[in-house]
Amino acid sequence: MDWNGCLEGTFSDLFSRRNLLLLLVFWLSSVAILVTYGTSLTKLTPKPSLSSPLPAPGENDTGAFFACRRSVGAGRSPYRVEFDNLRVADGSLGLFRTAANKVVQIENLRVRFSPPAAPDASAGAAPALREFCSLFAPQRDNGIGGDGLGLFHDLQGPQGDVSISVDLADTTEVRIRGLTWEIQRGGATVFRARCRDARLFTGSTHIILRGHVTVTVHRSTLESNCIELDVRNGRIITNTRYILTKDGNRQFGVGVCFDTALNVIGTTS
């Protein structure tokens, strides 16, 4: 009887109201400590921001660029130019890199010229081809303080207000990765060229297009892996295999010279 009484007293003391209250307070305190500790760790852990700004262009990059010219002068057409980035790098001279031979890399160039409508709707695109070369081929002896691109000389002229931070002096080559080039007259596209890679060099009036090149003039389309545009003489040249689609008919060949309306005017050696 004494043992039973002692056991009943022990359990009655354990489950007393005071002990239960103390136990509840202990558990609540433990939960609060865990919550506080977890919250502090969360604050200390860096979180990626959903509105993080894009990386700033480096000292040799322009970043995304947009420009347009609406006025029309003698031999000058309105244009619209966009690209994702322009980067300047030292070119190579044999096995060495040198700043006296800079290479400009343009990413995803989209350019559209809108010359006035010609009296003859079938007029070639030769004048606008020369305008592309004047904007993106490396320039020399232009009287503006060194070499560079005609595009920026035009925008930085007396009526321009564009400034760029990259040094384009001594540029000898321009490489375009991803090109879409259009010429429109009277709201209609009379010339379109697309390719994965384009090259222009100082002192040259030729534009080299590579990588699944398509040149569309009115209702004719020329396709080849490499097409050369002779902007001085208004010729479109391919030394490789080509496909010419004209009025729904497909023609295949190798080594042909076309005019700017994609009419065959000769062969190449």
pLDDT of residue 43: 45
Residue 34 is predicted with a pLDDT of 67
**Stretch 2-20: mean pLDDT, rounded?**
53
Mean confidence (pLDDT) of the chain:
76
pLDDT for residue 208 is more than 60:
yes
User: How far is CA 178 from each of CA 55, 184, 196, 235, 243, rounded to the nearest angstrom?
Assistant: 22, 20, 4, 22, 21
Band of residue 232 on the pLDDT scale cut at 50, 70, 90: confident
Strand partners, 98: 91
b (16+ CB within 10 A) / e for 67-84: bebeeeeeeebebbbebe
What CA–CA distance (Å, rounded) separates 232 from 235?
8
pTM: 0.71
pLDDT given for residue 55 in this prediction: 39
For residue 80, the model assigns a pLDDT of 92
DSSP per position, 141-152: S-SSSS-EEHHH
Per-residue pLDDT averaged across 70-91, rounded? 82
Are 192 and 216 a contacting pair, CB within 8 Å? yes
Report yes or no: 229 and 129 within 8 Å, Cβ to Cβ. yes
β-partners of residue 53 are: none
Q: 18-22, 88-92, 104-108 — which one is most confidently predicted on average?
A: 104-108
